């Protein structure tokens, strides 16, 4: 079971001036929706920066708040808006989830091994680095590992060939190409 992260949030006023004031105080305006009544909240900028990383993708967040309607709820980071120049988070969308209901998420694909087709002069072409799955929030895999050692020139791996864990349903098209070893063309 994946570890859960405690995320401190507080209620906030909506509006441009209150959002600007929050940002000046190292807080990021956020909205939470999903399995509860939508609410305007704020999160410390350091928490947003820390948890908006691939290592925390699909991490379950235990919300800690003085608001009893939000305290103890479980959420996922849905989207983080980043300022294009300063690279500071400007807004966060959190989605509250019901731990007992399946959700759809994208999961990273990790390729392992060295394809035999590389020794034959081929190139490994990675087409898709993620697939969409559906499962209970507690069953979200951190990644799906694919062994590419058996791929020769002209061979491909499709989503239907992935080793999907029990309790996880593949939502991406089965014919989605994950990786292929292609013939290296000489430049003319």
pLDDT of residue 93 exceeding 90, the answer is yes
Q: How many other CB atoms are there within 10 angstroms of residue 128's CB atom?
A: 14
Q: Rounded to an integer, what distance in angstroms lies between the CA atom of residue 44 and that of residue 109?
A: 31
Average pLDDT, integer, range 23-48: 91
Of residues 35 and 132, more confidence is placed in: 132
Q: How confident is the model at residue 186 (pLDDT cuts 50, 70, 90)?
A: low
- What is the share, in percent, of the chain residues with pLDDT greater than 70? 97
pLDDT of residue 187 exceeding 80, the answer is no
Length of the chain: 188
pLDDT of residue 188 exceeding 80, the answer is no
Average pLDDT, integer, range 145-173: 93
pLDDT of residue 1 exceeding 50, the answer is no
pLDDT tens column, 104-155: 999 999 999 999 988 888 899 999 999 999 999 989 998 999 999 999 999 9
Q: What pLDDT shows up at residue 172?
A: 95
Average pLDDT, integer, range 69-76: 90
Phi, psi angle pair for 174, to nearest 5° = -60, -30
pLDDT of residue 57 exceeding 90, the answer is no
Q: What pLDDT shows up at residue 108?
A: 93
Average pLDDT, integer, range 75-86: 92
Q: Rounded to an integer, what distance in angstroms lies between the CA atom of residue 15 and that of residue 17?
A: 6
Task: Report in angstroms the alpha-carbon separations of 102 from 1, 130, 167.
Answer: 15, 19, 10
**Most confident listed range (47-51, 52-56, 139-143, 168-172):** 168-172
């Amino acid at each position: 079971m994946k570890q859960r992260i405690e995320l401190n949030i507080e209620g906030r006023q909506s509006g441009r001036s209150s959002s600007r004031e929050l940002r000046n105080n190292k807080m990021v305006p956020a909205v939470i929706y999903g399995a509860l009544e939508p609410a305007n909240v704020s999160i410390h900028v350091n928490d947003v920066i820390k948890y908006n990383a691939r290592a925390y993708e699909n991490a379950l967040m235990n919300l800690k708040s003085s608001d009893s309607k939000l305290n103890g709820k479980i959420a996922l980071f849905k989207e983080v808006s980043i300022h294009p120049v300063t690279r500071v988070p400007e807004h966060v969308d959190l989605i509250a989830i019901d731990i007992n209901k399946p959700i759809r998420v994208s999961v990273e694909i990790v390729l392992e091994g060295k394809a035999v087709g590389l020794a034959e002069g081929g190139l490994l072409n990675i087409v898709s680095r993620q697939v969409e799955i559906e499962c209970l929030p507690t069953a979200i895999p951190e990644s799906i590992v694919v062994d590419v050692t058996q791929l020769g020139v002209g061979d491909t791996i499709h989503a239907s060939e992935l080793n999907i864990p029990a309790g996880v349903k593949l939502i991406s098209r089965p014919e989605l190409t994950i990786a292929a070893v292609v013939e290296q063309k000489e430049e003319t």
